[in-house]
Chain A
Amino acid sequence: MNPIDPQLPPGDPLVMLGLLASAILFAVGIVGFLSRRNMITMFLCTELMFQGAGLAMISYGRQHMDLSGQVFVIFILTVAAAEAALALGLVVLLYRRKETLSAEAWKELAES
């Protein structure tokens, strides 16, 4: 195991908090995606995971004092926006087919 070595130089508590927050947001996003039945909420949960990823980028960027972390957040935003557009288009399409937002209305993947 890895108890904290007091000889290590002090770290940045902001980075620590940021990374923890990103992990928590990601985990909560996953929990939400797995447990919600409303397709829109499920996609909101994926956005939560994106938030976690972005926060991690910023935190590591700060830890290494490098701008690449922030640049990557731009790309994450791009992908999130594209994903939102397509996902919501799909949701509208699926809603038109079955008149419900419940993900459980779609069971065609099952074998039997």
Chain B
Amino acid sequence: MIAAPAMLSSVLALAEGPLDAHAAPELRWAGLALLLPLISGVLCLLCGWMKVRSKLPAALTIAALGGAFATILRLQGAVGETPVVINLFDWISWTWGDGSRFHGFTANVDLYIDRLTVFWMLFVTGLGTLIALYASEYMESDVGKGYTRFFGAVSIFLFAMGCLVMGGNLVMLYLGWEGVGLASYLLIGYYFTKPEAVAAAKKAFIVNRIGDLGLALALFLIWQCYGTVEYAALWKAIEAAPASSEWTAQAIPWLLMLGAFGKSAQLPLYVWLPDAMEGPTPVSALIHAATMVTAGVYLIARMFPLFIVNPDALAAVAWVGGLTALLAATIGMAQYDMKRIWAYSTISQLGYMFLGLGVGTTFGASYHVFTHAFFKALLFLTAGAVMHGFAGQLDIRKLSGLLKVPGFRLVSLLAVLGCFWLAAFPFTAAFFSKDEILVSAFTAKDERVHVLGWIGLVVAALTAYYTFRVGFRVFFGPVKYEPGDEHHGHDDHQDHGHDHGHAHGSHGASAAHGGHGHHGEFHPHGPRWAIRVPLVLIAVGAMLAGWPSYRTMLNHGEPNWVKTQVAQSSAYQGVAAESHGSHDDHAAAPTAAEGEHAHADHGHLVLGMDAHTAVGRLGSLACIAGILVSLYLHLINRGAADALRRTLMGSIATRWIVVGAERKWLVDEFYDWVIRLPLRLVANILSAIDELLLDAGIVNGIGALPAAFGRLFRPLYGGVVQGYAVTMAGGVALVAAWVIWIWLRGAN
């Protein structure tokens, strides 16, 4: 906030900083992408202060985010192949000693603009604008209450995310990192009177702290090893002295990884994300599905030169990603809360992205981030629209056939489309991005990660199954619904898994036909334009996300647009030299004709086919198989699903599968026992020591001494003035006698 005036002046002065001579003038306006959300955040603060009771904060936020998006669009046209550093204003610049590389610390408020930055900001600001528009209607029951706070936090989030992505050094990245954490905390705890929301917000914040510790330590070590935290200088330093065998240099990727896993909800630290669904649905869509959680992917992509020199770290990233994808998919299969299923699918898809990073395809990971951002936002927003319309109902067993409910046809249609994308149905955008990752997994130079390709295929099938489990149950079939317990559109749902909603009678009794429920006077209300328009636009975006791949496929050899974006950034530094043996090494020369499908010469064969063909076919197969199973269990014969569950539960040998998946493999409980319980024990012991020994014994004991001493003399001070005078005069007499005695002694 304090930085705002300085930033404003430097932006308006058209960035006098050191711009490259050949940089386009549009780049000078890059600061606006940061400044506008900041301004709207400040204005929202003012609105809150002035107790604005209208939709003004939403309008301000949408306008600011739209402006930021326009800025990024301009940048997109202007950004060249070489990164540009734009100095907004100087911030930290300390030197000591002779001021050489290791004798100084510089972290200015710089923007590092390369194609990766702009690419990332493109969907962050674009989706941010659309989701803010969506939220302006979605949150309208809170106008005058939390509305301003909501949009203020969204503005802060966009500002921080901009800092994170566009910052020119690791300190700015770290600030943005913490800023998005703060915004996430504020928005998860938006309904702060609800204990679950408060607990979820705290959980997210604390779990993220663990990751942030890793990031902070990595930052320190990077300065210690390379003497700088500024990207431009850092790449040069790495190029000059790639891999040191010092443990400090070796630890950097591992610590960065920890940070990324915390923010992007990967295996040891993913537990906060499902609970984060306590926040309003637009927040889940924007922060916890599309943008913030991809910060970890961005971090590793941006810092890829540090990873490429450490194959063990890359393998660890791949394994963590693959296992997270599998674990989250299995949990997602057994949940009944729509938002929660999408949350686990987010974790699973993020796992794919990390798998992609781990096997060296920063392009695949970034492309998947890009496609996933659109369709996952779409899925969350449609879930939100349903929830908005059905009074907070999210249980997929209590909603059915929404395609036929008036007012929900468009939403349902878009949601089903989203399901196709999430399931990576052949020739959708996600199909190509997932394909890219799996191919790289199969063809990676590191043999240890090949098995992850198979895991990825299994997860693809599971994804298709659980996606269409929701799709078929909620949007197809007979019309039947039961409203939630929130009759004002709050997404204040209670997530109690399958114990939910008995207060509304049995499931069968609450069936409704033809869109007119006999459930009291409840009428589902369909969304209006402010929800519909962003949904359609996001769906269009999701569709267009596949466009680069279509072009590549049709015009054989044309380089993929996303690939050129990623290739001309630090994310590709060293990828070529390392020669993973995947087709990625062609990206080293993105201007050359790309042999996208020329893999045979690499000798990586999967089932006798070249990897790309095999993955394309197997992936399609897995997807269609998953959809078909889902079709049978959840549309054609819905009873079969319950029967299957009963069968599995019936046998001791298989019972653990159901219980485990439904209870999220008891990871939360495990953390509770292994980490929280010992900590609590130690805390209780220390607290007892503090209370009994320190407080009661030492502090109060010492405090009691003067009191006891004073009680001895209390009779002297009865409140009558002579009592005090006796003390004074007696004291004077004694002191006088003493002094005179000394004096007389001294006289002899």
Do A and B share a direct contact in the complex (Cβ within 8 angstroms)? Answer: yes
Instruction: Mark A residues whose CB is within 8 Å of B.
Output: 1-2, 30, 33-35, 42, 103-104, 106-112
Given contacts A1-B744, A2-B747, A2-B748, contact A106 B725 (CB under 8 A): no
Q: Contacts A30-B729, A34-B726 hold; do A110 and B719 have CB atoms under 8 A apart? A: yes
Residues of B within 8 A of A106 (CB): 719-721
Q: Cβ of B717 and Cβ of A103 under 8 Å apart?
A: no
Residue of A2, A34, A110, A111 near B722 (CB, 8 A) is A34
Tell me which residues from 705 to 748 in chain B have a Cβ below 8 Å from any Cβ of chain A: 714, 717-722, 724-726, 729, 744, 747-748
CA distance A10 to B724 in the complex (A): 43
- Provide the residues of chain B in CB contact with A2, threshold 8 Å: 744, 747-748
Chain B nearest Cβ from A38, distance in angstroms = 11
Instruction: Return A20 CB to nearest CB of chain B, in Å.
Output: 15
Known interface pairs A1-B748, A30-B729, A34-B729; A103-B719 also in contact (CB < 8 Å): no
Q: Would you list which residues of chain B between 484 and 531 have a CB under 8 Å from chain A? A: none
- Ordered by A's residue number, 19 sampled pairs between the chains whose C-beta atoms are within 8 Å are A2-B748, A30-B729, A33-B722, A34-B725, A34-B726, A103-B721, A103-B722, A104-B720, A106-B721, A107-B719, A109-B717, A109-B720, A109-B721, A109-B724, A110-B717, A110-B718, A110-B719, A111-B714, A111-B719
Q: 5 closest pairs, A vs B, by CB?
A: A110-B719, A107-B719, A109-B719, A104-B720, A30-B729
Q: How far is the CA of A2 from the CA of B748 in the complex (A)?
A: 7
Residue of A nearest to B720 (CB): A104
**Identity of the chain B residue whose Cβ is nearest the Cβ of A30 in the assembled complex:** B729
Residue of B whose beta carbon sits closest to that of A102: B720
Instruction: List 18 additional contacts besides A103-B722, A108-B719, A111-B717; criterion CB under 8 Å.
Output: A1-B744, A2-B748, A33-B722, A33-B729, A34-B725, A34-B726, A103-B721, A104-B720, A106-B719, A106-B721, A107-B720, A109-B717, A109-B724, A110-B717, A110-B718, A110-B719, A111-B714, A111-B719
In the complex, what residue of chain A is closest to B747 when comparing beta carbons? A2
Rounded to whole angstroms, the CA-CA distance of A109 and B718 in the bound complex is 8
Nearest-neighbour CB distance to chain A for B378, whole angstroms, equals: 74
Return chain B residues, CB-CB under 8 Å to A111.
714, 717, 719
Interchain CA distance A1-B722 in the complex, whole Å: 35
Residue on A nearest B722 in the bound complex, by CB: A34
Question: In the bound complex, how far is the Cα of B721 from the Cα of A106, in angstroms?
Answer: 8
Residue among B714, B722, B729 with the most chain A CB within 10 A? B722
**Minimal beta-carbon separation of B102 from chain A (angstroms):** 64
- Most A-side CB within 10 Å, residue of B720, B725, B747: B720
Query: What chain B residues lie within 8 Å of A107 (beta carbons)?
Result: 718-720
Residues of B near A30 (CB, < 8 A) are: 729
A104 / chain B contacts, CB cutoff of 8 Å: 720
> In the complex, what's the smallest C-beta–C-beta distance from B747 to chain A, in angstroms?
6
How many Å from the CB of B734 to the closest CB on chain A? 13
Query: Given A30-B729, A34-B726 in contact, is the A103-B720 Cβ separation under 8 Å?
Result: yes
Min CB gap B195→A, angstroms: 46
CA distance A103 to B725 in the complex (A): 12
CB contacts (< 8 Å) of B725 on chain A: these are 33-34
Contacts of B719 in A (CB 8 A): 106-111
Q: Which residues of B contact A33 (CB under 8 A)?
A: 722, 725, 729
Cα distance A109–B727 in the bound complex, in angstroms: 15
Most chain-A CB neighbours within 10 Å: which of B724, B729, B748? Answer: B729
Interchain CA distance A104-B744 in the complex, whole Å: 40
Q: A96 to nearest B CB, angstroms?
A: 18
Docked pose: A99 CA to B573 CA in angstroms: 98
CA distance A110 to B713 in the complex (A): 12
What residue of chain B has the Cβ atom nearest to residue A39's Cβ?
Answer: B721
What are the residues of chain B within 8 A of A42 when measuring CB–CB? 722
- B567 → A minimal CB distance (Å): 82
| Shortest Cβ distance from A112 into B: residue | B714
In the complex, residue of chain A having the shortest beta-carbon distance to the beta carbon of B733: A30
* Cβ–Cβ < 8 Å partners of A35 in chain B: 722
In the assembled complex, the Cα of A66 lies from the Cα of B492 at a distance in Å of 97
Chain A residues with Cβ below 8 Å from B726 are 34
B741 to chain A, nearest CB (A): 10
What is the CB-to-nearest-CB distance from A45 to chain B, in angstroms, rounded to a whole number? Answer: 10
Bound-state CA distance A72–B748 (Å) is 32
- Cα-based distance from A108 to B719 in the complex (angstroms): 6
CA gap between A42 and B744 in the complex, in Å: 33
Which chain B residues lie closer than 8 Å to A34 at the CB level? Answer: 722, 725-726, 729
Give the distance to chain B from A81, nearest Cβ to Cβ, in Å: 22
Q: In the complex, what distance in Å separates the CA atom of A34 from the CA atom of B718?
A: 14
Please, how many angstroms separate the alpha-carbon atoms of A35 and B718 in the complex? Answer: 15
Alpha-carbon gap, A107 to B721, bound state (A): 8
Report how far A108 CA is from B718 CA in the complex, Å. Answer: 9
Chain A contacts of B720 at CB under 8 A? 103-104, 106-107, 109
Residue of B nearest to A110 (CB): B719
Complex interface: chain B residues within 8 A of A112 (CB): 714
CA of A2 to CA of B721, assembled, Å = 39
Smallest CB gap from A37: residue in B: B722
| Interface hub of B721, B724, B729, B748 (most chain A Cβ within 10 A) | B721
Chain B 68-100, CB-CB to A under 8 Å as 1, else 0, gives: 000000000000000000000000000000000
Q: How far is the CB of A30 from chain B (nearest CB, A)?
A: 5
In the complex the two chains form, what is the Cα distance from A111 to B724 in whole Å?
A: 13
- Give the distance in Å from the alpha carbon of A108 to the alpha carbon of B724 in the complex: 13
- Shortest Cβ distance from A33 into B: residue: B725
* C-alpha gap A34/B723 in the complex (Å): 8
B720 smallest CB distance to A (angstroms): 5
B744 to chain A minimum Cβ distance, whole angstroms, is 6
* Minimum Cβ distance to chain A for residue B590 (Å): 86
Cα separation A1 to B746 with both chains bound (whole Å): 9
A46 → B minimal CB distance (Å): 10
Complex interface: chain A residues within 8 A of B729 (CB)? 30, 33-34
Please give, as numbers and ranges, the residues of chain B lying within 8 Å of A103 by CB-CB distance: 720-722
* B721 CB contacts on chain A under 8 angstroms: 103, 106, 109
Least CB distance, A93 to chain B, in whole angstroms: 15
Tell me the minimal C-beta distance from B691 to chain A in angstroms: 29
Least CB distance from A9 to B in Å reads: 17
The interface centre, meaning the residue of A35, A42, A106, A110 with most chain B CB atoms within 10 A of its CB, is A110
CA distance A102 to B717 in the complex (A): 17
Once the chains are docked, how many angstroms separate the CA of A108 from the CA of B717? 11
What CA separation (Å) do A108 and B729 show in the bound complex? 21
A35 to B747, CA, bound (A): 36
Least Cβ–Cβ distance between B574 and chain A, in angstroms: 78
Chain B minimum-CB-distance residue to A104: B720
**For the complex, what is the distance from the CA of A103 to the CA of B729, rounded to whole Å?**
17
**Please, how many angstroms separate the alpha-carbon atoms of A34 and B606 in the complex?**
110
CA distance A106 to B725 in the complex (A): 14
Give Cα distance in the complex from A2 to B724, angstroms: 35
Residue from B719, B729, B747, B748 whose CB has the most chain A CB atoms within 10 Å: B719
Q: Report the separation of the CA atoms of residues A111 and B707 in the bound assembly, to the nearest whole angstrom.
A: 13
The distance from the CB of A57 to the nearest CB of chain B, in whole angstroms, is: 18
Residues of A within 8 A of B724 (CB): 109
User: Complex formed: what's the CA distance from A33 to B728 in Å?
Assistant: 12
Which residues does chain B contribute within 8 Å of A109, judged by CB atoms? 717, 719-721, 724
| A1 proximity list for chain B (CB < 8 A) | 744, 748
Cα distance, A30 to B719, chains bound together (Å): 19
Q: Chain A residues near B722 (CB, 8 Å)?
A: 33-35, 42, 103
B356-394 Cβ-contact flags toward A at 8 Å (1 or 0): 000000000000000000000000000000000000000
The complex places the Cα of A2 from the Cα of B719 at a distance, in Å, of 43
Bound CA span A27–B748, Å: 27
Bound: A107/B729 CA distance, A: 20
Per the bound structure, the CA–CA distance linking A32 and B722 in Å amounts to 10
B747: chain A residues within 8 A (beta carbon): 2
